[in-house]
Chains A and B, each alone.
Chain A
Amino acid sequence: MSAGSRLENANPTIFQRSGERLLTATEEDEDAHDPIDDREIFDILSINDPEHPLSLEDLNVVEQVRVKVDDAESSVGVEFTPTIPHCSMATLIGLSIKVKLLRSLPDRFKIDVQITPGSHASEEAVNKQLADKERVAAALENSSLLEVVNQCLTSRSI
């Protein structure tokens, strides 16, 4: 059976990418302090979708408006929107986002990943799984699950 027939959402709507962040003069300035902002977190999250050769940004799974960061308070909140309400990949996408943030942010941050309210059938269950530290840790002990997460996080340039 070819891989194509098992896709849940074979022909998704593709959204325009927001383009590279423009370099500002302050960022070039050796002494200025650049706070961590929403866009920076959003750029970190250019993760591959497990079903498509497209990034989550292309599919509007992650949008910049749904990323909230408070550098001073050391907290990050991300809401993601599965492409279809019954997407079985929702947990995996959430887990990938969480792992990516854990690897990319300083220890001081509290990371909160949730499904955009009203966008998924089993929203609550998924949110609960993602918020449970021990379940996340246990999931990453599972080497085959870690493999899939790592595949989502592999940069496409290679």
Chain B
Amino acid sequence: MAADSSLLLSLVEEYVSGLQDSKAKDTATGVKDGEFTVLQLVEALGLSLTSSQPHTRARGVQLLSEVLHECYGNLTEREVEVLIAFYENRLKDHYVITPSVLQGLRALTKCAALPPGSAVSMLRSLFQDVHVQSLMLAERSCVYSMLINLMETREAELKGLGADFVFGFVQSMDGERDPRNLLLAFQIAKSIIHRGYDLGKFTEELFEVTSCYFPIDFTPPSNDPHGITKEDLIEALRAVLSGTPKFAEFVLPLIIEKLDSDVQSAKLDSLQTLTSCVSQYEHKDLAEFLEGLWTSLRREVFQTSSERIECAGLAALTALTSCLSRSVLNSDSEDSLSTFLDLVLTDCKHHLCEPDLKLVWPSAKLLQAACSASSRASHIITAAVMPALVEQYSSRTQCSHRRTLLEVVLRFIQSVTSSQSSENEESMFLAFRQSLCDMVFSALSETNSSLQITATTTLTSLAQQTGLLLDADIELAVDHLTRLLLTEEDEKVSVAVVSCAGALAELHPTIFISKFIPRLKKEMFSEPMDQDNNREASEKHSHHAVRQQCLSALAAVSIRPSVVQESTPVLLEVLSSAHAGSVGFSVEEVVLACRSLQKIAEQVQDTEETGRCFHELIIPRLLSLALQAALQGEGSSGRRSPLVEEVVLSAVVSVIGTSCSRLQPKLAEQTAARAVSLFLDGDVSFLPDNSFPSHIQLLKQPQRESWSQLQMVCLLMGCVCSLPRSVAVPQIEQLLSQLEEMSCTCTHPLSYTSAAKCFAGLVNKQSQGDSLDSLIQRTMKRVCGELDSTSSPTRSQAFTLMIWVAKGLLLRYHPLSTALTDKLFSLLDDADLGSMAAEGFSLLMSDSADVLNRGCHADLRIMYRQRFFSENSAKLVQGFNAAPQEKKSNYLKALSNIVNKLPKQVQITELPALLNLLLEALSCPDQGVQLSTLSCLEPVLIDPPPALIQQLEALFSRLLALVSSPTMSVKITSLRCIHALSRLPTHEIFPFRARVLKALARPLDDKKRRVRSEAVLARGEWYLVGSPGGSCLYSHERTNENLEQH
């Protein structure tokens, strides 16, 4: 004990007289470890605390405060009481002591054992003896922290202080200037307001002391370590100002005043604060300021200079209106909402009727902002505005005016929709149904395309108003839409009509089933009467356009299952009559019909009913048609069915693929079983129109080579490769071995490629294990055998199978994929397959449309491309360096194929290592390599890595050479690269300016316009490099001066 006390004394001595700050920590550790108590410390400090030298006393108090700061948790209530009494007393002492005293008090406020009443006495002495704003920054912060700590733990006691607490706080923060302290002060003010402290008669004082910072104007220093932004302060202050309706009478005039400001940010802040305020207010808080607020808001929207302010103004108006709408009406008080809306209407409504329609948009926006606030507001406004708009519309004759008015109406309908509380509510446009319908239908009958487009959008919005349109209206609408669809040539109108039809069909399926679909069917199947070729070619073309429209409209309306059941038979009929040749559909039209079916398969609501429709009807019908066409071959009639064409088949594959990928598991299983039995066993029992021969063998090579049957394998692929992974494909072993056989031996490209894709698609979904590994190894052996014998006639078949299997395995990170991709790298040196191998990398890295993608549930790991790239880029560089000169271009092509598909972020990080190779690729004579290298360089040049800056000379000389390339696309892309380079730091690129300008003079006179326009852009930018005024902001004053000189 004696040793302890001497140790303590020496620590105190060294701290107080020796000025060794580190001793405070040692002392604190001692107290924490129980070596000595706080009482002992105070005793040891005795002499220093009573010294006549203020500095010694300060040092003593400081040691005590620092120890307390570390160990306030261990103090007993009794100790705290004594310490508080001591510290309160010290507040009256010399000013040099005050900082340490405040620190000590702050430590004590964190104490859990604070005796009752001490919080109040502490604050009383603080407010009484200390003038906060004459303290230094850190001490002021200390005071705020004390307040925050006490408000956290002793709320009830502080509230006992009554309004004195608020007054004390107001005095403390009055004049605060430091942003860090302001954030604390705003936090306290917010708590005072939100936790219901009694503001008493100091409401205005609290408001004054905070609102004097509004609007906040603060720019943090560039090297600010505290990270306080203007937004932090704005948010904190806004929370205070908008916190209580008691501030309403002060804050609203302030906002009105600040809205007059010329400073944009002040306006914006005022508007946003207003929006935030009124969400707390009631109508009586607003009553006397409504007129002033409205005048300011109106001015901001009418004379707006920036879109942000306009938006903020409209949002404030909406908030204001919804605040007024919340008010409960008394029998004697006036209805403030309708008073306010009267004001809005008087100022805005007449602009809707002015002859030049100049202020129609700002007025409409204001009205719509008010409209969207509440359903009562929208009732009042629509009732006042709609008749005027309708009348205006009918009295105007100019299309542009009519369009403007119709768009205004459209926005009203949309803004009302957003304010409606429930969907079942009766539409407030009910009273105007007839006139609105008349307006829309008359606009649809106009010839002006933008008017028509607006009308379709309006029609869609009207239809979405519950219970507004009658069946008769929809029927009329359908008539109009059909007419436009069949006659309109403007593509934008057609697109609008189709999407409108889609939206209406979702709401009113029955009318579309009974009217729209039959009508389109009739149009599509009517032959243009040009059997004798005496019709104009243009009319034939327009008939094609009509069919095209009908096909896309059929797809758009098929969202409801009931519509799908009517529309898909029509599409299937198109296919079957095209196959039979009864109606002359072109191959292109057949493809479009398939696209429509695919779109339906994608968008239709996923129900049992539609799944069955696809499973029972559509897929068998498609298979049956394709099979009929295949069996017919180039048979007797000499006429080929369009269904054997490759484009049509791949469109059918996408239909089957998309619908299979969305089938419910049970149906998917059945579909898979049927397809497999059709292809393996020739089981045709499930196909409609069953007149097929009994011995069909689709996967086996028949005696007579018949490609039209062999290529059917792509349909098998569409079916079995798109199924969800959980669905097991039956007879998988046999299927895989026949597919392998076919892909290795068949000579018809589409057939062996499809077989290889199908094989890879199935392998990709096989579960991991020995059977999969042995399957892959068997296939690999066969493929490599074929590839290694250079004389083999089926090398390209083997190559195709290899690359697809490699892709299937690469996607799922299968370890055996490396063996296959390594083989691919080695083939880059091959005399025959070298360039195919280089192209193969693009296949590996890109998404394939019909197989091995996410849509068909393939096992696809994220970032497989990056992984492949990082594992193999070294091999590529190595191979390039070792390869003989004539093979180098294959490596470059492979590289550009890989790099092109990588995400830009990866490209940028990997580029430095590959830069030399890419620059080499730019001088490679192969245009494909040039083009793909340029297109992977272009995005990188916007934010180039430092490695590139060092290679600018090489880069410029190669790019400028490519500007004179014979190929248009190479010229265009190289010009774009040169354009991008003009944004590099001027000091880096200025040395090249003269050279670039000279080289770009030539493409200015290129024979191709697209080259010229790129050259114009690039040259214009390069002229600005290093030239005065090149990219600085425009300054108006300078202009005027210069002109005077001139």
Contacts and interface: CB of A to CB of B under 8 A. Distances in A.
B599 to A, nearest CB: 26
Interface string A130-158: 00000000010011111111110111001
B1019 interface: yes
B422 interface: no
A44 B1036 CA distance: 24
B1021 to A, nearest CB: 7
Contacts of B1039: 50, 89, 92, 148
Interface stretch (B612-620, B840-848, B1027-1035): B1027-1035
B1038 A144 contact: yes
Interface residues of A, number: 42
B794 to A, nearest CB: 36
B1029 A155 contact: no
Contacts of A89: 1039, 1043
Contacts of A3: 1036-1037
Interface in B1008-1046: 1008-1010, 1012-1013, 1016-1017, 1019-1021, 1023-1024, 1027-1032, 1034, 1036-1043, 1045-1046
Contacts of B1042: 142, 144-145, 147-148
Given A30-B967, A105-B1004, A151-B1029, A40 B1012 contact: yes
A34 B1008 contact: yes
A108 interface: yes
Interface in A1-52: 2-3, 6, 23, 27, 30, 32-34, 36, 40, 43-44, 48, 50-51
A144 B1005 CA distance: 31
A27 B1008 contact: yes
Contacts, number: 99
Nearest to B1024: A150
A88 B1045 CA distance: 13
A139 B1028 contact: no
A32 to B, nearest CB: 8
Contacts of A88: 1043
A146 B1009 contact: no
B262 interface: yes
Nearest to A99: B1023
A106 interface: yes
Contacts of B1038: 144, 147-148
A104 interface: yes
Nearest to A104: B1016
Nearest to A100: B1020
B1001 interface: yes
A73 interface: no
B968 interface: yes
A101 to B, nearest CB: 10
Contacts of A103: 1019-1020, 1023
Contact of B1007 (A34, A40, A105): A34
B1045 A106 contact: no
A11 B158 CA distance: 59
A148 B1020 contact: no
B983 interface: yes
Contacts of A155: 1017, 1020-1021
Contacts of A108: 1005
Interface string A91-107: 11000000010011111
A143 B1016 CA distance: 23
Contact of B1031 (A32, A34, A158): A158
Of the four ranges (under 10, 10 to 19, 20 to 34, 35 or more), the interface on chain B belongs to 35 or more
A150 B1028 contact: yes
Contact of B1020 (A33, A43, A92, A153): A153
Contacts of B1031: 154, 158
A79 B1037 CA distance: 27
B1009 A40 contact: yes
B1037 A146 contact: no
B1004 A104 contact: yes
B1020 A106 contact: no
A33 B1043 contact: no
Residue in B1010, B1037, B1039 with the greatest tally of chain A CB atoms within 10 Å? B1039
B1037 to A, nearest CB: 7
Contacts of B1030: 150, 154
A151 B983 contact: no
Contacts of B1013: 40, 43
A151 B1032 contact: yes
Given A40-B1009, A158-B983, A104 B1020 contact: yes
Nearest to B1046: A145
B1028 A144 contact: yes
A139 to B, nearest CB: 7
A27 B1024 contact: no
A106 B968 CA distance: 18
Contacts of A34: 1007-1009, 1012
A135 to B, nearest CB: 10
Contacts of B1034: 48, 50, 151
B1027 A139 contact: no
Contacts of B1037: 3, 6
A92 to B, nearest CB: 6
B263 to A, nearest CB: 10
A158 B1033 CA distance: 10
A44 B1013 CA distance: 8
**List of 9 A-B pairs having minimum Cβ-Cβ separation, nearest first:** A147-B1029, A106-B1005, A150-B1029, A147-B1028, A34-B1009, A104-B1016, A33-B1007, A151-B1029, A3-B1036
Interface of B: 262, 967-968, 983, 1001, 1004-1005, 1007-1010, 1012-1013, 1016-1017, 1019-1021, 1023-1024, 1027-1032, 1034, 1036-1043, 1045-1046
Given A27-B1008, A91-B1046, 6 more contacts: A91-B1043, A104-B1020, A144-B1028, A144-B1042, A147-B1027, A150-B1028
16 contacts: A27-B1009, A30-B1008, A36-B1009, A40-B1009, A50-B1039, A91-B1046, A92-B1043, A104-B1004, A144-B1038, A147-B1042, A148-B1038, A148-B1042, A150-B1028, A154-B1024, A154-B1031, A155-B1017
